[in-house]
Structure 1
Amino acid sequence: MAAPVAAARYAIYFAPAPETALWRFGSAAIGYDAATGADQPIPEVAGFSPERLREITAEPRRYGFHATLKPPFRLADPTDAAGLLEAVARVAASCRPFGLPELRLDAIGGFLALTVAGRPQSLHDLADTCVERFDPWRAAMDEAEMARRASAGLSERERDHLARWGYPYVFDRFRFHMTLTGRLADAERAALASALSDRFAAIAAPVAVDALTVFVQPDPAARFRVLARFPFG
């Protein structure tokens, strides 16, 4: 992989290990394996052309299969990628693995994702830790980016989070999800949910949160890729 450049963005995600059935399921569903950087054929779904399936999954394909812990950010001066990776390694070494409640396919704001029920404390503690501990590496958003995000119908609390942390859906607004599609009309969403539910049922198993994974987007036109994965201590 080419060396990250100044325009690169980094993110701290939960991502299943590449050898797991869950990673293979998610990567196939969005048509992209962020561990290898390679496209994947999206399994056929009755009533959907291959071209339509690629359209539906274009947005999650840009980010790779994951659940966000620390949302994408550019590096602040004078930090660097090496320092960020060292910090992530230290945090991961201080964590202990824990299990997720049963994953389920759900609709969130018009798109399909794997979610968990309720607010598991260990999961939310980890997300909160990542938001806070890695914030010194985050460059502040420029005015245009701030205005674009602030115009998205946010609540006052979410605007406060955006101003302080660069992202509105953190802490009390955090919701674990692993995105599988873009926004869909009701009929398409129902049809695709049925197909994805059947496929997921075939591989569903307990999921351990046992590592932090750093993804990198080398430039704004590129997709995110796995940069490094740090197992918990």
Structure 2
Amino acid sequence: MRYAIHFTPPAHDPLTVAAAQWLGRNAFSGEATEPPAIRGIGIHDIAFNTALPRRYGFHATLKAPFRLAPDVTEPMLLRHLMRFAGTHSPFELPKLEVVRLGNFFGLAPVVPCDTVRFLAASVVQEFDNFRTPLSEAELERSDSGDLSAPQFANLHRWGHPYVMDEFRFHMTLTGPLSLVEMPRFDLALRDYFEPYLKRPVEIANLALFIEEEPGAPFLVHSLHPMGRVAARKIA
């Protein structure tokens, strides 16, 4: 069993529903969804090029997948996550847009957001003692060979290269694409998601995702509301 702490909008949010349809799976229910009909790109092309993010579900990573430390139980993790979420106030992200991130596409804010960077760094630090450190084999698999020095240091210290100063908030929409495929996916994604990006996205919860066995699709286990109301309920 692996756990991850992410952000994802609520299950019935229009953006969540649209993203689940694009990816072909709903991370809340685990059910498969029909890809949207988009001119210029076939449903089989969409299905093939969303296979990787489909398994992980629609999310923005805050704490990458980890196994619990030997002295930690799931109820302990849940209690701490509920309390932690209650100490952070909800906030709105800058407007999201479809962006190219290396060889894949995702949704990311049009301008940097220090608040979400602070939240992500806090999650990484707060829950580091809850994870089992990566084994040597896992470290080798996670090191692609082209990590920068800070990314390599992050991998060994925090279990993931793209944290702290290397963090960039994004919600992945495709797997790796060839240069030939990039333009048509860029156009298709912008056309499809534009109606759902008109209103601000609020970070109002932290989501616990679970992978029940190696290679299994990740599912939303629970959403944990942020803010003082949540903290008072826990107290």
Same fold (TM over 0.5): yes
Shift of 1:55: 1.1
The within-5 A match list for 1:127-166 is 127-166=120-159
Question: Which of 60, 63, 71 matches 1:78?
Answer: 71
Corresponding position of 2:87? 94
Shift of 1:125: 0.8
Corresponding position of 1:39? 32
Q: Is residue 2:19 matched to residue 1:51?
A: no
Q: Tell me if structure 1 keeps the 8 A contact 2:19–2:58.
A: yes
The within-5 A match list for 1:220-231 is 220-231=214-225
Question: Which of 55, 63, 79 matches 2:56?
Answer: 63
Letter in 1 for 2:176: R
Corresponding position of 1:171? 164
Distance across 2 between alignment mates of 1:117 and 1:49: 28
TM-score by length of 2: 0.93
Q: Is residue 2:201 matched to residue 1:207?
A: yes
Q: Tell me if structure 1 keeps the 8 A contact 2:41–2:184.
A: no
Q: Deviations over 1:115-156 (max 9, x none)?
A: 113331110110011000011111111111101222331011
> What RMSD in Å do the two structures reach over aligned CA positions?
1.1
Distance across 2 between alignment mates of 1:28 and 1:46: 16
- For structure 1, which segment, 144-153 or 103-112, has the greater mean C-alpha deviation from structure 2 after superposition? 144-153
Question: Which of 92, 115, 121 matches 2:114?
Answer: 121
TM-score by length of 1: 0.94
Distance across 2 between alignment mates of 1:121 and 1:145: 31
Q: Deviations over 1:82-114 (max 9, x none)?
A: 111111101111111100000000010110100
Distance across 1 between alignment mates of 2:8 and 2:71: 28
Shift of 1:226: 0.3
Q: Deviations over 1:148-167 (max 9, x none)?
A: 22233101111111110000
Distance across 2 between alignment mates of 1:36 and 1:231: 19
What is the aligned-residue identity percentage? 39
Corresponding position of 2:18? 25
Q: Is residue 2:3 matched to residue 1:10?
A: yes
SS in 2 for 1:44: coil
Shift of 1:189: 1.9
SS in 1 for 2:180: helix
Distance across 1 between alignment mates of 2:96 and 2:188: 16
SS in 2 for 1:38: coil
Distance across 1 between alignment mates of 2:191 and 2:112: 25
Distance across 2 between alignment mates of 1:221 and 1:128: 27
Letter in 1 for 2:195: A
Instruction: Tell me the number of residue pairs that the alignment of Structure 1 and Structure 2 aligns.
Output: 226
Structure 2 alignment gaps of length 5 or more = 228-235
Distance across 1 between alignment mates of 2:144 and 2:180: 28
Distance across 2 between alignment mates of 1:232 and 1:203: 23
Corresponding position of 1:3? none
Q: Tell me if structure 2 keeps the 8 A contact 1:45–1:192.
A: no
Question: Which of 98, 104, 116 matches 1:111?
Answer: 104
Q: Tell me if structure 2 keeps the 8 A contact 1:65–1:178.
A: yes
Shift of 1:172: 0.2
Distance across 2 between alignment mates of 1:227 and 1:203: 25
